[in-house]
Amino acid sequence: MIKINSMDWKPIKKTFDKWSVRPTLLDYTTTCASFSWESILKEIDGLPDGKGINIAHEAVVRHAMEGRGNHLAIRWLSRDGAIRDYSYHDLHSQSNQFANVLRQLSINRGDRVFVLSGRIPELYISALGTLKNVSVFCPLFSAFGSEPIRQRLSKGDARVLVTTQKLYKQKVADLRKHLPLLKHILLADVEEDIEEGLWSLPKQMAKSSDRFSIPQTDPEDMALLHFTSGTTGMPKGAIHVHNAVLTHYMTGKYVLDFHPDDVFWCTADPGWVTGTSYGIIAPLTHGITSIIDEADFDAERWFRILEEQKVNIWYTAPTALRRLMRMDIEPCRQYNLSNLRIIHSVGEPLNPEVVKWGQETLELPIHDNWWQTETGGIMIANYASMDIRPGSMGRPLPGIEAAIVQRTNKNDIKIIEEPEVEGDLALKPGWPSMFRGYLHDEERHRKCFVGGWYITGDLAKRDADGYFWFVGRADDIIKTSGHMVGPFEVESVLMEHPSVAEAGVIGKPEPLIGELVKAFVCLKPGFEPAEKLRLEIMGFARKKLGSAVAPKQIDFVDNLPKTRSGKIMRRLLKARELGLPEGDISTLETDS
């Protein structure tokens, strides 16, 4: 693959002299050298009397028992401006009640409890209560249509669904005849039970004791079932176990850099794994305060939340940051963001232009990190204390071995030791939050492991200093005139043009050169699609990328098709361009 200009961007020197705390990970090399998962195991609590490890114990029980019960755990901001606060005591007792509700319904270890709702407090309480009962929590995006909901409930063997009256009527009622295992629906906003199996959650909660003792939990007991984003095809149900909490806790400590008085805001919806691992679990394991906003993206609301809630640590996604970039707002002039210490991003490659925008506009660089539903937690990151190389995902976590590999045959790989060579990004199995399987698809799970490594499906390269650079998803790589082109680098260069807000790049079959590089471009406000501008952007890209790699075609579009977790669906751009079937679009954002 040819080397483009990601290294042209100057590293951003990290300083933290204005910080009120010191970053926990100050020396990457020393921390990695002395790291062991056993030492993290000692930092978490474990169930009393050696009864194992349970995520909910680490997230709430521990703090309630250790004198932190009155600390604010979750501040919930409703769509219409109301605020509801939950201390660790509140979460503890209400999740106990939920666990008792499950028990009364004879829902046991390993049974799947799905939640289909917006970001409402009941979602968080159900998650924790489900984990306490050693049942399996499985969140769904509330915006899913009824077919994706049916597929997931059916594939996941749902026994219980927590939802709201409206969502039930609109999307679930008609499905029940197809879901014989789904015995219980708990409606979060109904005061009286409707019929056998269609219960009022508040009523059931009120009837239940707020005392509950977590049963023995094997660290390998299934805890979470998470469906992937469906960016590259049919979503897969990734299985995670209670031991994953070690990764949640550890990444909270070393990557997100949680300190006891921190206020943290993860903007992801729990329908996407980030919203569970980091929107629920990780901050609670550190006993800090999380902000949960019920409303959808709204630039001014978001800046107001950062200001009013005095957010210290903000975890968001490139798609949201790119949207903020498009707005005519000067955040630091219009809002007091002085409490903000660190901004993290995940989910998609973070274009260098966005890191630079953060530095200039928010007066903080943006720290990219990489992981997947399958990895259960962050694996590669830009740490608080380390210089940022814009465009790089950072370096592997302590305790995580990542490598660039090449397949030598169906059953083996070779590790590429030289820097700057592109290949498959692979991880050495064994970290606590590694997925334990795809539900009902053992064959697919098995195929992910080759020669003793987990092959992630992403292509990347490593530089001489050990920073990893994302190249593209294996499925998205473009083969043109004998070159392999990763769409991310082309998209990032397009975004350097002053008129371009966002771009999606695909390969379009072309007999002579294999595939032709085609770009779909969204313009910033104030720019209009025009032939002159198209030619100008093409010329700009050619100068930066060379004519072999620069897009040969550019279409202006208002929006790019994205998953609900905000990832550009290049496979859909391609299918639409070629007039092919769209494939599974259950996770497509509806206005795309």
Binding residues for Mg ion (CB under 5 A): 228
Cα–Cα–Cα angle for 14, 357, 3, nearest 5°? 80
- 422 makes contact with ligand ATP (CB under 6 A): no
Task: Decide if residue 370 touches ligand ATP (CB under 6 A).
Answer: yes
Q: Among 428, 551, 418, 570, which Cα is nearest to 493's?
A: 551
Nearer to ligand ATP, 271 or 551 (CB): 271
d(CA 253, CA 247): 10
Q: Mask: binding to ligand ATP, 452-481, rule CB under 6 A, as x and -? A: ----xxx-----------x--x--------
Q: Is 347 in the site for ligand ATP (CB under 6 A)?
A: yes
From 84-92, 133-141, 143-151, 224-232, give the range in contact with ligand ATP by CB under 6 A. Answer: 224-232
Q: Is 230 in the site for ligand ATP (CB under 6 A)?
A: yes
Q: Is 132 in the site for ligand ATP (CB under 6 A)?
A: no
User: Long-range pairs for 587-590 at CB < 8 Å and ≥24 separation?
Assistant: 587/141, 587/144, 587/148, 587/229, 587/230, 587/231, 587/235, 587/563, 588/561, 588/562, 588/563, 588/564, 589/143, 589/561, 589/562, 589/563, 589/564, 590/143
**Distance from C-alpha of 580 to C-alpha of 378, rounded to nearest angstrom:** 35
Is position 368 an interface residue for ligand ATP (rule: CB under 6 A)?
Answer: yes
Is 275 among the residues that bind ligand ATP (CB under 6 A)? no
Q: Which two tokens stand for residue 296?
A: 């959808």
Buried b (16+ CB within 10 A) or exposed e, 530-543: eeebbeebbebbee
Write out the two tokens for 407: 């397949």
Q: What whole-number distance in Å separates Cα of residue 354 and Cα of residue 347?
A: 14
For ligand ATP, the closer CB: 228 or 433: 228
Closest among 281, 243, 251 to 394, alpha carbons compared:
251
Pairing of strands 478-480, 483-485: antiparallel
Q: How far is the CB of 61 from ligand ATP (least distance, A)?
A: 29
Closer CB to ligand ATP, residue 217 or residue 433?
433
Interface with ligand ATP (CB under 6 A), residue from 99, 239, 393, 471? 393
Partner in contact with 346, chosen from Mg ion, ligand ATP, none, beta carbon below 5 to 8 Å by kind:
ligand ATP
Q: Least distance in Å: CB of 469 to Mg ion?
A: 18
> Under the criterion CB under 6 A, does residue 372 sit at the interface with ligand ATP?
yes
Minimum distance from residue 234 beta carbon to Mg ion (Å): 11
Nearest residue (CB) to ligand ATP, 350 versus 550 = 350
97 near ligand ATP (CB under 6 A): no
Dihedral sign for Cα 161, 167, 171, 176, please.
positive
H or E element, residue 100? helix 88-104
Closest distance to Mg ion from the beta carbon of 272 (Å) = 12
Name the residues that contact ligand ATP, by CB under 6 A: 228-233, 235, 273, 346-350, 368-370, 372-373, 393, 456-458, 470, 473, 565, 567
